[in-house]
Structure 1
């Protein structure tokens, strides 16, 4: 039977989970804060494409909304991977988690600059995702083969 003992270093993993949650919350706040300025009333999720082509504020609003939504799409798997990998790799997992967070910030900065192609600034954040996935796969392999 496999067992997991959490060390004091697991606190780094917990800290990065808190940082990433604050990041996602701030991305959502940015959407809400810019909504009125862009003139996109609730409950409308996005400005119409034709409006966004004419009005840069509406286009930037759509970019802010997309950054937040895109981040949420992968947030659950990121958090699960972070928390699981952190049990065995309590320093490497949060380091990869911070890479993901910084990548998400760069992605947001680039995407909302007015040129959505600049979202690629944050592409390095995938190192965090892929690294955490690799740690989870290694953990699974080690646990299965130890049985």
Structure 2
């Protein structure tokens, strides 16, 4: 049986992972701000389609941006933690880049201003997933 020794640089991976938790809080606060402005009461997840005002549109965009974050966070986070076992610094850098690009993405998408500015998060997420897969193959093949 193999022994796993964790590189002290794995701490950077943990910090990058924690940054995603902070960003989730930013998303929640941002969505709450737009919810209040649009006067959309809980438990409604979105403003109804019958509302065509800017405040309702901005709230719906913020809510969708948050939903998109929540959809992608588990894959990015899991890949970050797995990739960091062998490549802690590279993984941490990709993880921080993912968080920053997700923030940029959320700011564009939340206000209905265009979400494509931070779309590069897909590249960082793909890199982390690739490294995680490589780690699994390398362990099985005993590279």
Which TM-score applies when normalising by structure 1? 0.91
User: Gaps (5+ residues) in structure 1?
Assistant: none
Secondary structure of 1:104's match? Answer: helix
Look up the match of 1:123: 119
Look up the match of 1:79: 77
Say how many residue pairs are matched.
Answer: 143
Deviation at 1:34, TM superposition (A): 2.3
Look up the match of 1:7: 7
Decide which of 53, 56, 60 is 2:54's aligned counterpart.
56
1:132 and 2:137 matched: no
The structure 1 segments of at least 4 consecutive aligned residues displaced by more than 6 Å after TM superposition are: none
User: Gaps (5+ residues) in structure 2?
Assistant: none
Decide which of 90, 105, 111 is 1:113's aligned counterpart.
111
**1:52-71 C-alpha deviation (Å, 9 max, x unpaired):** xx210110000110111110
Q: Matched residues in 2 for 1:98 and 1:90: separation? A: 12
Decide which of 133, 141, 146 is 2:142's aligned counterpart.
146
